[in-house]
Structure 1
Amino acid sequence: MGGHHIDVGQAPDAGFVVLADPGGNEMCVIEPRNSFLAGTGPLGEVTCDGTRDVGLFWRDALDWPLVWDEDEETAVQSPLGGTKISWGGPPVAPRLGRKRQRLDLVAADLGTEVDRLVSLGATRLTDLVDGVELADPDGNEFGLRAL
């Protein structure tokens, strides 16, 4: 399907294989016995570059439990299970333009939800035709749109 092996410094006996898709996006294929991925589906985790603070922000913004908080790395997961979203902690790569990963949220009451997210540490960036663009505490843009 166009993927290829890449080396990101993993040990030869690591319990995972690192691949890149045709666009150069990295992904790990992890053995099923990995306990961190228990309770997830085939897409076990989406890994983001970010600080512990941004992991705590998304915990509160999504109202999902923090399922990992160790050595500045954090992860959240829906209370219903499924894919985890994690942040790798420092050092955070320098920002060059917009991030490829983007979260978009929906809300019944945009004004109330914008106020709540700002109180959690988000920054309001701009109004959109159908919502608002904000940034999380690390400066990553995300959208908030009406249901």
Structure 2
Amino acid sequence: MGMLGDVVFDCRHPASLARFWAAALDDHRVAPYDEAELARLRVIGVDDPEDDPSVLVEPVAGNGPRLFFTRVPEPKTGKNRVHLDLRAADVEAEARRLVGLGARVLAKAGDRVVLADPEGGEFCVQPLRDPAG
């Protein structure tokens, strides 16, 4: 049986999109760059982590999927085939917070808000689920 390991986002600028998602998710952070990682980047001709072609956002406590943001040459041209659904106690307040981080509201659909991240990737914020059901 398969298990979810990583979620990979194609994007134009991995470092900035990784920072957005690390700030959007309470339990994730941009993985720190140690000397071994900086050396790996230098071998491929990257002197500044801001230009890293694949940036990792990892769970703080080691629980949950890792998110990779990987540079691709082509721009996003259509609707995502897969998107993340975030949950929040106060959907409107969370949507406002995410807009402050660089997202934009695309639509309101019932009790959820559909947003786009800074590169146009769609995602939703919806109410917390009732743990009983």
TM-score (normalised: structure 1) = 0.64
Shift of 1:89: 2.4
Question: Quick one: structure 1 residues 42 and 145, their matched pair in 2 at CA, closer, same or farther if it must change by over 3 Å?
Answer: closer
Match of 1:53 among 5, 8, 16: 16
| 1:73 correspondence with 2:34 | no
Match of 1:106 among 87, 99, 105: 87
Distance across 2 between alignment mates of 1:130 and 1:99: 21
Structure 1 stretch 119-128 or stretch 60-69: which is displaced more?
60-69
Equivalent AA in structure 2 for residue 133 of structure 1? V
Q: What aligned pairs does 1:16-27 form with structure 2 within 5 A after superposition?
A: none
Match of 1:137 among 96, 118, 125: 118
Gaps of 5+ in 1: 1-40
Gaps of 5+ in 2: 34-48, 129-133
Partner of 1:86: 68
Question: With CA pairs under 8 Å and 6+ residues apart, which has the higher RCO, 1 or 2?
Answer: 2
Partner of 1:23: none
8 Å Cα contact 1:65/1:76 also seen in 2: yes
- Secondary structure of the residue aligned to 1:105 is strand
TM-score (normalised: structure 2) = 0.70
8 Å Cα contact 2:107/2:113 also seen in 1: yes
Higher fraction of helix: 2
8 Å Cα contact 1:48/1:101 also seen in 2: no
Shift of 1:137: 0.2
8 Å Cα contact 2:58/2:65 also seen in 1: yes
| 1:62 correspondence with 2:62 | no
8 Å Cα contact 1:68/1:74 also seen in 2: no
